[in-house]
Chains A and B, each alone.
Chain A
């Protein structure tokens, strides 16, 4: 009897299956966006009458972009477009010499430098180069409502119609950002008369400031959970870092070196707490969640004692000293985004740099491969001679250091003194952000910015909301609603490290 030669190999999860799921999702998102668009037209666009909103740009940017003569502006524009061309199109890439490798890093450099060179002359032409002065733009509310509504509908329609199996999310984000803009314009309606201008740059800068400690926190969570340990003690590390950095800096009267020392002490104390968590959960195999929560309770008690026993008698130990602000040359002068991203205190840059470094460390280095393997399947790592305990200790202590720095971002970052309860549960929110960012450093960065925006919004919209029927507390709920949605997995297929929170013993 002859036997058929070809054998079909059974495949466990086919790519086609996954694409199918993504497509179905895309359809759902698309329809949702279209509905939101309709809502925008009816709601924002329906704000009839001649109500207008004044938006303020520019925000204490220390100086203007370097001015150049009109005729010469064509030169940076041309150079910038030249640099951006190989980024945008594959055919342009052919003109790059063979031995010059067009890696991801090179591409990012091209985007940054080319982008600046293009924005520079455009900013000069439009005259938004404020040099510290505020520019305003007044637009009618209903027109903006129609515009954003149609834009959202177009984004949703594209999403539903094309049903991209990948790259669906950018359109979704465009739709949501447009909705947000429309909402802001609507909320601040009548501000051309009342003078309560919508300070767009201000809100965004506040968002970045609020995002800083969230970036540190979620990065710490990512590091720990990638190695398989749940670090629920981030809140405690925040508190400890916040109070210790203030005390160190104040004790040394805020000299330059004391600020560096303050940041370091915050990190080291955070690492110490991480070490305690590691010993309890790795050596003694205690339940990680319970140990973490107990550590937070302990830190709360200790900070409470210091705050109300020590700092009330020695008030000079709780001073308001700010870390130096560094305006990145050139980039800080870009209208709107310059002051937001490139004119911040040093800790903000440390946070962003930390994200880049951790991402490289986790996904490019030997250490990272081992950490991730230990978080996925520790027994497999052990059989090839990777010590599970050592990798986990390392990751948890490093994570603690990062979270401690996040603590410093509450106090000496913006330059406020310590108040009890200022961490406000953000240590737990950081874990939700980590999930939102899908256990990836860049994801954590993006999600932190989103949450920071929600926090800044709830703090900045008070003045308008008091005139409206919406109680301010509803806006304050926004970050938490996003949290619940994120943790429930509404942001897509979420897959934690397989051995996350599972203790490991060899026998």
Chain B
């Protein structure tokens, strides 16, 4: 099926999310859509899938103009989409999720579960998926859930499949398996629109690459004609340094010592199961691991946000467990939270206020009647210049900033205190190449000032680039602590809960 978008334009208020975008997808093609966050990729795909109505523009399928007003139209025109956040209902079974919206009914109005199951099993066999139709989604690993999503699209006879950042949530092994699935689909004549940030994957699998920036298509190329650096330049619009410039570390004394830490998650299940490690001054310890293996709970425990069941966290000889969040912060712990919008910032408040959120108790910003507005304002202006935060002025509400600039505000605030340890959870999640570069430079700089740094990231590239040592979390335990020079394959295996057999003794 040939799919063409012509001159699609979509405005959100005054912001142009898509400007005159043209896209041509040939049958049996893997078409990569590359761009920074906010470049308009997701908007374009939501237009294609009928979730968003464009202001103007045309959609052509096999050279005929069609109109897609809602997802149902998209499904009838054989367009399927695997969303970044899966459109699966966690408490339903695999079969129920796949048949939803086109349930076989016999006799009316009862669902014919038997024929549904048969159809799913035969479809799964056709594409070589291993799926149990009666399994409940929430009990399945992420990679399997993604396959259910793909199978759901295929069960609607999709000819064009949109994959929105599918590898962001996968382990390297799962991502590798997804590549194989994509090739199988391509061999069957399906077209795939593959959205991603990851340049390596693009070069590995794409037939055609379209790069978007600020709502416009800036170029179309093929993997043979380009390389990572050229793609990054196209995406950002300037030269980007993809490699972190990192002089060797000079670790000092142990600053943070964590011993036998046990933490429970919200459901009361033990999420962190006896974690012990130490971080020395002037050293970066990076945690790798698939999401949901205790990272969130570990960070919250270290920063005093979550009650610790057992164990101790010692910072420069004093115990942090059981102390209030304020005490922990005052002891010199900096925290860049995983979800900056929910936990790091108050979006409706100004940049200047956000920059002093955790220091309003200090005499620097506190006066007898409230806040020292002048000092807060000056601090805001200074930090905006210092950290190159792109904003009109310090009074602008934080919600009007892009993700990268919001993260700069968080970083600027945490680094403006006297720190002993900096804990960064997913410091570059959702950021574009340019902002990632900036964040990484900041983290290395603070390390070289003698601060102990803990990085928690689900991006293997980031962990390898930043870490002086790499700890792998799996099922709430540290699987191993290895040097960053360890091969990706070995790290991937550790992340999946097994150990590389060959040099098992060498690392310990």
Contacts and interface: CB of A to CB of B under 8 A. Distances in A.
A4 interface: yes
B268 A377 contact: no
Interface string A368-391: 011011001101111111100000
A498 B137 CA distance: 14
Contact of A4 (B90, B292, B293, B498): B498
A21 B265 CA distance: 14
Contacts of B173: 7
A3 B268 CA distance: 35
A13 B139 contact: yes
B5 interface: no
B269 A13 contact: yes
B496 A7 contact: yes
Given A9-B496, A364-B110, A376-B90, A384 B138 contact: no
B101 A384 contact: yes
Contacts of A384: 71-72, 75, 87, 100-102, 152, 156
Contact of A10 (B89, B103, B293): B293
A369 B141 contact: no
A67 interface: no
B441 to A, nearest CB: 33
B89 A1 contact: no
Given A3-B489, A4-B501, A373-B100, A10 B92 contact: no
A365 B290 CA distance: 38
A366 interface: yes
Interface string A405-433: 00000000000000000000000000000
A397 B75 CA distance: 29
A3 B109 contact: no
B179 interface: no
B51 interface: yes
Interface in B137-173: 138-139, 141, 144, 152, 156, 173
A281 B238 CA distance: 48
A259 to B, nearest CB: 30
Given A9-B496, A383-B83, A507-B52, A376 B502 contact: no
A4 B87 contact: no
B498 A8 contact: yes
Contacts of A365: 109-111
Interface core residue of A9, A11, A507 (most chain B CB under 10 Å):
A9
Contact of A385 (B75, B111, B500): B75
Contacts of B493: 3-4, 7
A173 interface: no
A376 B92 contact: yes
A380 B98 CA distance: 11
Contacts of B109: 365-367
Interface string A463-479: 00000000000000000
B183 interface: no
A366 B111 contact: yes
Interface in B281-330: 290, 292-293
A385 B90 contact: no
B501 A3 contact: yes
Contacts of A98: none
B501 A381 contact: no
B96 interface: yes
Contacts of B139: 11-13, 15
A373 B269 contact: no
Given A10-B474, A364-B111, A386 B497 contact: no
Nearest to B156: A384
Contact of A1 (B105, B144, B503): B503
B88 interface: yes
B87 A10 contact: no
Interface string A6-44: 111111110101000100000000000000000000000
Contacts of B141: 9-12
B366 interface: no
B72 to A, nearest CB: 3
A385 B502 contact: no
Interface core residue of B88, B92, B490 (most chain A CB under 10 Å):
B92
Interface core residue of A6, A8, A11, A12 (most chain B CB under 10 Å):
A12
A10 B101 contact: no
A372 B111 CA distance: 14
B499 interface: yes
Interface core residue of A2, A21, A383 (most chain B CB under 10 Å):
A383
Interface string B262-276: 000001110000000
A20 to B, nearest CB: 9
Interface core residue of B89, B475, B501 (most chain A CB under 10 Å):
B89
A369 B96 contact: yes
B500 A1 contact: yes
A10 to B, nearest CB: 6
Contacts of B496: 7-10
B463 interface: no
Nearest to A363: B111
A10 B497 contact: yes
Contacts of A3: 489-490, 493, 500-502
Interface in A344-372: 364-367, 369-370, 372
B395 to A, nearest CB: 29
A506 interface: yes
B493 to A, nearest CB: 6
Contact of A7 (B96, B100, B498): B498
A13 B139 CA distance: 6
B278 interface: no
Contacts of B503: 1
Contacts of A10: 141, 290, 292-293, 474-475, 496-497
A379 B139 CA distance: 21
B92 A373 contact: yes
Interface in B359-380: none
B90 A381 contact: no
Given A10-B290, A12-B139, A367-B109, A386 B101 contact: yes
B100 A370 contact: yes
Nearest to B292: A12
A2 B501 contact: yes
Contacts of A370: 100-101
Contacts of B94: none
A11 B474 CA distance: 11
A231 B141 CA distance: 35
A369 B103 contact: yes
Contacts of A1: 487, 490, 500, 502-503
B49 interface: yes
Contact of A383 (B81, B96, B290): B81
A506 B51 contact: yes
A372 B500 CA distance: 44
Nearest to B290: A10
Contacts of A382: 51, 70-71
Nearest to A379: B87
B242 interface: no
Contact of A381 (B101, B102, B269): B101
Contacts of B91: 376, 495, 498
A466 B258 CA distance: 64
B71 A380 contact: no
B139 to A, nearest CB: 6
A376 B497 CA distance: 31
Interface string B53-84: 00000000000000000111001000001010
30 contacts: A2-B501, A2-B502, A3-B489, A3-B500, A4-B500, A6-B498, A8-B496, A9-B496, A10-B293, A13-B138, A17-B269, A366-B105, A369-B100, A369-B103, A373-B100, A376-B89, A376-B92, A377-B89, A380-B89, A382-B70, A383-B81, A384-B75, A384-B87, A384-B100, A385-B70, A385-B72, A385-B102, A498-B90, A498-B91, A506-B51
Given A369-B111, A498-B90, 6 more contacts: A8-B496, A8-B497, A10-B290, A10-B474, A382-B51, A383-B83
Which 8 A-B residue pairs are closest in the complex by CB-CB distance?
A: A384-B101, A385-B72, A8-B497, A380-B87, A1-B502, A365-B109, A7-B496, A366-B103
